[in-house]
Homo-oligomer: A and B are copies of this chain.
Amino acid sequence: MNKSEHFEESLQELARFSRCLAHPARLAILKFLAESRTCISGDISDYIPLGRTTVSQHLKELRKLGLIKGEIDGLKINYCLNCDEIREYLRLFEKYFDDIKNAEITC
């Protein structure tokens, strides 16, 4: 039933990025990682008002798209932003919206 693959690859990629940002928990996680710059691990679960396993799943989504990285440090895991990848996606986003913003439409 899913017909996403009928669209341009760049649109599909942007849609995947957007979908990853389409839940406030994931936005909160990225924000938290940006603020607590020391890349602290599972304090994330304490900060986010959701169960631990749910947070774990959101982290998995973010990792799947490459927006964050997780490094094992003994028993804990240090998550942190993958800034390069994020900037890559932001470039795609801006490229798409440049055309749209500048459409001087009168109707």
**Binary interface profile of A, 67-107, with partner B (CB < 8 Å = 1, else 0)?**
00101000000101101001100100000110111011101
Given A15-B23, A37-B103, A83-B105, 17 other A-B contacts at CB below 8 A?
A: A4-B25, A7-B24, A8-B24, A11-B27, A14-B24, A14-B27, A15-B21, A15-B22, A18-B21, A30-B100, A31-B96, A39-B107, A69-B107, A71-B107, A80-B107, A81-B100, A81-B103
Copies of this subunit: 2
Q: How far, in Å, is A32 (CB) from chain B's closest CB? A: 10
**How many residues of chain A get a CB closer than 8 Å to chain B's CBs?**
45
Please name the residue on chain B nearest to A27 by beta carbon: B11
In-complex Cβ contact of A28 among B7, B24, B105 (8 A): B7
